[in-house]
Structure formats: structure tokens, C-alpha cells
Amino acid sequence: MKMKNAAIIITMLLICTEWAAAVDNPQGNNPVCGPCSSYGLQFDGPLEYTPYPEPLNVGAQNPGKIYVVYSVIDEESRPWWTQATGVWQAWGPYEFKSGKGYILEFGPQDIVGMTEGPLPYYVEGTAAWLQEENVDYWEENSYSYCIVPEGQFLNASTTHAPVPATGEEALILDIDTLGAVYNGPTASVYLNLAEKTRITKIQTYHWNYGAGTESPGSILIVDMNSQESDGGYPMTEYEAYGLEGSGGAPNAYWVVEPDLVLEPGKYMILDSENSTWAQNDETGGIGVTKVWGIVES
């Protein structure tokens, strides 16, 4: 029975691969992008798996190259998943061609594919038509996503920097904005590490409408990978030093230099003065934060 199921799965994967090739599917993905809010977009979903998935209409799309930005919601992450806490990835670029129909397929095993699909009889003109389908029969995960035009994706000012080469210090988390900022983040900062990493510097921004802060407070790193007996999570606190911001705002930048080695996993960055921590819609309500680190060998 197991051999038969394996054969069915392999056959389905081969069929999906052949369909995907017809629309020039990109190979590989980018696992370090910001959420849909980073691109000024709302996310669609969660798109649930059903035993007999059928394509659902998404609607007309403008022709051109796009990226699919998405977050996998599995059994483990489902209880706490939000746009801010989810891990977001991007596949692309794909291309919508005028007068063509496409099916956006999620799964199996977190793979995103685009295949040519039927064009409804009532669709006319130069638009492309998109349908969606969750075919993740392997894990039965859910997916939230948005369609981002290529230019908007590549030029987004809120980015997560790529993992640096071993032994080189690099910016590994970059939540930033060029727009006007406001006080009081509404979403948390999470750092997802794929490799053992030495955290060399963390910086948060306290513009506070040009007033800065009287004195810098502290920045904390919370280990979300091991829960303590009281239900909390272990954390390490570091006293920050301040740097002047634009227009002479005192202590607008809070900086700590932990020199702390973290194992692969998920971590939260906290700031002791949430009331003056800068954020805006472009950051998805997440506090402006930068983290530098060195991947350990």
C-alpha cells in the first residue's frame, strides 16, 4: 500500500513539473522577504487544503512580471500565526500574459507553481485571469499570499537581508522605511535564523516626532525555541547607547552590541520603550529595527 501511494505521489509531482515548465516556472525561492504589508498590500487567505481541491477564481490581473509572496501556515504555527509573526517567502518572477488564464498552485511541500489554466468566457481584453488552488496533499498546510508586481517587489524599501557568508559581518534583518514614522509598534519583530549566528549589533529607531528620547533604554533578545517552566521564554537584556538622529534628535538610535551566538531558530527582539519606537504602514506596524550578525562555521 505504501509503495502504491508513493508511486501516485511521484506521478503527480512529475505531472505538476511538466505543467509548470509550460509557463516558465522559476527554480528555487527566496526565503527572506518581508510580509505583504511590506509592499503596501493586503494578503489573501489563508487558503486551506481540501481533499478534492478545485481552482478558485482570484480575478483579472494586469499583464507583466510578478512575484508570489506567501507564508506557510502549518500545524505548529497555526495557533500563533499572524502577518507579523509568519515567515514569508517569495517565488518568481512569473509573467502574466494578456488574454491568458493561469492557476496558482500551493504545495506540495511548500512549493509554489504557476500553470496555464482556462480563460473564462466572460473575460475579454488585455487582462490575464488568475485562479488559485491548494494541492498540498503531503502536509495539508494552509497558505496566505499576495501578488506583487516585479518592480514593486525589487524596489521595496522594507527588506530582510540575505544570509551572509560564513565569517563575514552582514545586515541580517532590515526593517526600515523611507516614509513618515509614528510611535508605538503594533506588531512584533521576529528574527528567523537558518544558521548558527553571532549577533554583533542591534539598532532600533526612536524618532518620536523629532524629539528623540531623554536617554536610551534597553533591547532584549527572546529565545522562542525553549519555553520555561512558568510558561515564559528565556531572554537576554542589553543596555543601549544612543546616537543622534536626523535634525539633531537626541538618542534617536538605540544600539546594543551583544556578541551573542544564537542557534538556528526563531527569536523576538523587544525594546524597553515601545511608546517612542518608530513604525508605519510600510513596515506593517513593526518597529524599525536592524540586526547585524556573523554566520558561525
User: What's CA 40's distance to the chain center, in Å?
Assistant: 13
Question: Strand, helix or coil at 9?
Answer: helix
> Is this structure's pTM higher than 0.85?
no
| Residue closest to 123 by CA, chosen among 60, 58, 63 | 60
Enumerate the domain spans of the chain: 2-154, 169-295
Residue pair 63/98 in contact by the 8 Å Cβ criterion = yes
Burial class (CB in 10 A: 0-12, 13-18, 19+), 142: buried
Residue in the structure block whose three cell numbers are 522594507? 158
Work out whether strand 260-262 and strand 169-175 pair parallel, antiparallel, or are unpaired: unpaired
CA dist., res. 204 & res. 142, Å (int): 33
Whether 105 contacts 114, CB under 8 Å: yes
Q: What are phi and psi of 247, to 5 degrees?
A: 75, 15
Per-position pLDDT tens, the chain of length 297: 434 333 333 333 333 333 333 455 554 444 457 778 767 677 888 889 888 778 888 888 888 888 899 999 988 888 888 777 788 888 888 899 888 899 999 988 778 888 888 777 666 667 888 999 999 888 889 999 999 888 777 765 444 444 455 677 888 888 888 788 999 998 888 887 878 899 999 999 999 999 999 999 999 999 988 777 777 788 999 999 999 988 889 999 999 999 999 998 888 899 999 999 999 887 878 899 999 999 886
What is the C-alpha separation between 110 and 107, in angstroms, rounded? Answer: 5
Domain 169-295: assigned CATH number: 2.60.120
The DSSP output letter for 230 is T
Beta bridge mates, 126: none
